[in-house]
Structure 1
C-alpha cells in the first residue's frame, strides 16, 4: 500500500518539482509547449496559483493549480465565456492537473478533489472551471465535471472546457461535507481539528477591509429602509456630512454610493475641468491607480514615482513645482496601503500652498486611522469600509470651494456639483448605509475620536513592528514614514506568502495577502483599521513565529 500525503504546496523544493512535472505533462506527454534543455516549465500564472499536490514521501506525484483571478485561461480561448455557464456563480479555475502514470488511481484523485473543494469553500466559490484533455474525458465525467462549449487547443493538444459544481466536489469525500458544514456553522464534530487553533471569539481581523463592525453600527444598518426624499432622512444626511467634515476640518463633503475608486473617478472628473496640467505622485499600487485614472481621463500630467516601500522624493516634487510654474494641480495618495508608507500630507500641503497648486489626495486608508487636516486641500477622497469601521459602499469627496454642476462636461453620477445643488441627495441612495456610517461616527466619538484611537493604533503598531523584527522579518515601510494602521511584511524567499496567509487564516487570523501586488512580491499585511484588542498582537506574533519557524525548518534543497 502506498502512503500518500495531500496538501497545498508551500516549499521551494515542492515548487521545483511542480515545474518539472509541468514540463513532463505539457511538453512530453501532451505537446502543448516547446521543449527546453532545462526540462522545467514555470506556469505563466505561477505567482497567482495555489497548488494542490499529492506526495509519496518527498516526491510530488500529483498536482493541480487553483486560481481565482480573472481573466481565466478559458476567457482567452472562449469569448463570452460566461454565456456557457450557469448564472450567478463565484468561480475559480483548475489547471495543470497531472498525475504520474503509476499513481493514477481513485485515491489520488479523491485527495486532490478534497483540496479543490476546500479551496472553493473557503473562498466562497460555487463553480470550478477546467480545460480537460480529450484523452481523459471519461475520467473527468466520473469526477463530476460537466462539458460545455466547443473544444479548444490544437489537433496535437485538444481540450474540452468543463465545470465542476461545489455539490459535485462534495460527493468525493465526507471530509468536504464536514468542512462545508463547519463553514455554515453546522459542524457535527468532523473536521474540527482543522480549525482548532482559531480563537473562541472568532477570527482576529487584521484586514484593511472589511473590518470588524461594532454592534451599534450593525444595528443601525439593520433598521428598516426609508425614502431618500423624506425630510428626517435628508436632515440626517446633513448631520452625517457635518460630522465627516468636522473629523477632517473640511468645508464640505459629498457622498457617492460605491467604492473608493468611485470617489477617485469623481476627483478625476473635477480635475479634467481645470485648464492647466498637473503632477501625479506614486510610490505604490494605489499611486499607480491614480496614474491610471489620470490616463483614462486624458489629464495632462507629469509623474514623479518613487520605489515601492520608499517615501516620496519631496525635493524632486518641489523642484518640479518650481521649474513648471504652469502646473495647476497635484494628485497623490496619503496612506499607500500596498506598502504601509504614510506620505507627508502637511509637507505636501505647504508645498502646494507656496506654489499655488491645487492639492488632491486619496485619503481612503487614512481617514479615521490618523488625524487629518484637509482644510487647505482642493479635493480629498475617503470611504466608509476601512478605518471608519462601517460597511463598505459609501464613497466620499471632501472639498473647500464652491463646485457648480457641469452638465455638458461630467457624467451625471460623477458630477459633484449636482450633489452640492441637491443637498447631497440627487439620486436614490441607501438609507441603511447612511445610518450605519452615522452610527460608526458616533461610536468613534464616544471613545475619544480619531486622536484617542490614533494613539491606541500607534501603540499597537509599535509593539507589532518590534515583534516582527524579533522574528527576523523585514518590514517594508521605514519607521519614520510608516502608517500605524498598515504594516506590510516582506517574507524571505523560502516562505510562500499565500501558503503562510492560508495557515494564519486557519489559525484564526485574517490578513491581507491575496491581492496580486502582494502575491507578486511575496508580501503579507497586518492592518489595524478596525477594533483590535492589544492582547491579540502578542498572540498573533506567537502564532506567526511558530509558523515561520516551522516553515524554515521544513525548508530543504531541491531534489
Structure 2
C-alpha cells in the first residue's frame, strides 16, 4: 500500500516529523552503522539538532528519508580534522551535510527517487543560503556513490571499526554538473515547497488555506455555508470599497462574460482599451456579445495614453461605457485606474474594469467603478475556480435577454447562490482573505517586486514594462532570439522553479514571466534570480548572454 502513496519532499517543521527523524537517526547510526551507543528509547537526537535544517521525504505519515544541513562553525568535521580549511578550496561559503539516511523498506524501487529528491532539495537550499561548498563525512560503504556525484575525498578516514567515514567536499558547480541526472529525475511536482511557484496562477497557498479546502464538502444551502459565503462577500467589499459583489463558480473569463452580458443590457456605444493579451480578450468578449464599441489599442508593454483616451471620449458620439484591464498580466503594465475613474466621471461614462491580476497584489479602489471582475486564484492567494463581479447598483434578472448562468441579476435575486456551489473553494477563499493586513501585504509585494526587478536588471535581463507603469507582482522578461523562452522555462522547472512561459502569447514573443502573486519569501526571490543567471549564462562563455536593460 505504501508503494502507491506519493513521495513528498519538504523541510521538517512539525513535532511528529522531528520525532521520526530521531528514530530513523537511531536505526541508521546506531543499529545499522554502529557509530553511537544503543539506548532503550531507540531514538537518537543529533548533537547539532537545534541548528540543523532537516530535508525530509515523507510517504504518507512515514519518514522515508532525510538529511541535515548546517552552516554554523565549528562543524562536526572541525572536531575530527585539525585545520579543516587547509583541505578545502579557499573563498567558499561552506555548509556541512550530515545524517543522510533512507528507511530500509524504501531502499528498493523508490530509493533512487528519494535520493534524487533530497539532493534536488539540498541544491535549492544551498542556492537560497548562498552555500557554494558542501562537506560530508561519507560512509566508506558508499564511496562509489559519493564520487559518482562529484565529491572529492580529502584527509584521512575518521571513525573506527564498522563506523568509518571519509571526509569529502563538493563545489556547487561540480554538483550541478555531476548530479544533473538526479536533479532532472527528482519528482519535483511532489515537493512540498521545493518546486517554487512564481506563476501568475495557480499560486502557492498557505497551509491553513489548504486545510480549509480539504474539509468535507457541504451543502450550499446549509446555514454554515451561507454564513461563510456572506462573510466572504463582506471581506471582498471591504477590500475594494465596492457596495456588493456576486461570486461565481468559474474562472475570471466567466466573470468578464457576465460583465459583457450586463453591457448588452445597457446598450449604447462603448470604448474598449487594449494594451495586452487581456485587453484583447475584452475586445473578444465585446465582439461575442455583439456590442457596439470601438477599440483604442497601444503596443504591448506600453501604458495607455490618457490624453488619447480623453480625445476618444470627447469625439465618440453616443458613448456610454468604457471597458479596460487594470493589471495587464501579459506585460506587467499597471494601467492608471484612478485616472480612468476620473475621466469616466468627467464624461458621465460607466467604467468596467478587469481587476483579476491586481486584486490582492496592489490597492484596488472600486468606488466609482460600475462593474469590476476578480478571481480567487491569483493575488487573493486561494485556489482557482471562483470569480467575482463587483458592483454598486442594484441588479435585476434578465431572463429574456441573458443565459441563466450569466445573469448577474438572477444571482442577486437568489441571495448570491442560485446554483450548486463548491464549498471547498468557498472555505479556502474565506480563510485566504480573512484577517489579512492588506497594507502590509501590498507593501511586501511592492518591496519584493522592486528587489526582483533590480536584481534582474543588474544581471543584464531586459524587462518589458518600465517601473513607473508596472505592477510589482509581474515581471516580463524579453529574451533575445538565441535564448528560447520555452527551453529556459523547462530548465528552470528542472531546477525547481515554476515560471510562466507556456501561454501562447508568451511563446510567440519569446517572453518569460516571474510573478509574485502567491505566498513568496524574499530568499526565494534571491534564489530564482541566482538560478536564472546560472541557467542562462551556463555554457555561453560570456557574462552577458542577454541584452542589458535600458
Candidates 435, 455, 476, aligned match of 2:443: 455
Distance in 2 (alpha carbons) for counterparts of 1:461 and 1:255 = 29
Aligned length: 376
Conservation of the 8 A alpha-carbon contact between 1:283 and 1:306: yes
Distance in 1 (alpha carbons) for counterparts of 2:497 and 2:487 = 13
Distance in 2 (alpha carbons) for counterparts of 1:233 and 1:501 = 40
Shift of 1:525: 0.2
1:384 aligns with 2:376: yes
1:494 aligns with 2:482: yes
Shift of 1:233: 1.6
Candidates 226, 231, 234, aligned match of 1:242: 234
Conservation of the 8 A alpha-carbon contact between 1:365 and 1:386: yes
CA deviation map 1:434-472 (0-9, x unaligned): 111101011xx34x22x2111111111111111111121
Shift of 1:223: 1.3
1:480 aligns with 2:442: no
Conservation of the 8 A alpha-carbon contact between 1:491 and 1:497: yes
CA deviation map 1:17-67 (0-9, x unaligned): xxxxxxxxxxxxxxxxxxxxxxxxxxxxxxxxxxxxxxxxxxxxxxxxxxx
1:205 aligns with 2:200: no
Shift of 1:355: 0.4
1:508 aligns with 2:496: yes
| Match in the other structure for 1:192 | 182
1:295 aligns with 2:287: yes
Gaps (5+ residues) in structure 1? 1-176
| Match in the other structure for 2:536 | 548
| Match in the other structure for 1:115 | none
Distance in 1 (alpha carbons) for counterparts of 2:524 and 2:496 = 11
1:321 aligns with 2:316: no
Normalization by structure 1: what TM-score?
A: 0.64
Distance in 2 (alpha carbons) for counterparts of 1:484 and 1:426 = 37
Candidates 469, 486, 489, aligned match of 2:457: 469
CA deviation map 1:391-411 (0-9, x unaligned): 110010000101100010000
| Match in the other structure for 1:284 | 276
Candidates 408, 411, 423, aligned match of 2:403: 411
| Match in the other structure for 1:45 | none
SS at match of 1:254: strand
Superposed counterparts of 1:519-530, under 5 Å: 519-530=507-518
Distance in 1 (alpha carbons) for counterparts of 2:283 and 2:116 = 42
Conservation of the 8 A alpha-carbon contact between 1:196 and 1:507: no
Conservation of the 8 A alpha-carbon contact between 1:197 and 1:507: no
Superposed counterparts of 1:307-456, under 5 Å: 307-442=299-434, 445-446=435-436, 448-449=437-438, 451-456=439-444
1:220 aligns with 2:212: yes
Distance in 1 (alpha carbons) for counterparts of 2:234 and 2:421 = 18
SS at match of 1:272: helix
SS at match of 1:440: helix
Shift of 1:540: 1.5
CA deviation map 1:466-519 (0-9, x unaligned): 111112111000111000000000011211111111111111111000111001
CA pair 506-423 structure 1, distance change in 2 beyond 3 A: same
Conservation of the 8 A alpha-carbon contact between 1:182 and 1:192: no
Conservation of the 8 A alpha-carbon contact between 1:494 and 1:552: no
CA pair 295-179 structure 1, distance change in 2 beyond 3 A: farther
CA pair 193-301 structure 1, distance change in 2 beyond 3 A: closer
Conservation of the 8 A alpha-carbon contact between 1:197 and 1:508: no
Shift of 1:389: 0.8
Distance in 2 (alpha carbons) for counterparts of 1:228 and 1:186 = 42
CA deviation map 1:157-191 (0-9, x unaligned): xxxxxxxxxxxxxxxxxxxx98996799899x995
| Match in the other structure for 1:272 | 264
Shift of 1:194: 2.3
SS at match of 2:266: coil
Distance in 1 (alpha carbons) for counterparts of 2:519 and 2:229 = 25
SS at match of 2:397: coil
Shift of 1:200: 8.8
Distance in 1 (alpha carbons) for counterparts of 2:185 and 2:333 = 33
CA pair 245-315 structure 1, distance change in 2 beyond 3 A: same
Query: How well do the aligned residues superpose, as a CA RMSD in angstroms?
Result: 2.7
Superposed counterparts of 1:72-111, under 5 Å: none
More displaced 10-residue stretch of structure 1: 465-474 or 347-356: 465-474
Conservation of the 8 A alpha-carbon contact between 1:220 and 1:432: yes
Shift of 1:341: 0.3
Conservation of the 8 A alpha-carbon contact between 1:361 and 1:379: yes
Distance in 2 (alpha carbons) for counterparts of 1:193 and 1:546 = 15
Shift of 1:324: 2.1
Distance in 2 (alpha carbons) for counterparts of 1:392 and 1:206 = 15
Gaps (5+ residues) in structure 2? 1-108, 120-144, 146-178, 546-550
CA pair 193-245 structure 1, distance change in 2 beyond 3 A: closer
Conservation of the 8 A alpha-carbon contact between 2:183 and 2:494: no
Distance in 2 (alpha carbons) for counterparts of 1:465 and 1:428 = 43
SS at match of 1:309: coil
Shift of 1:326: 1.6
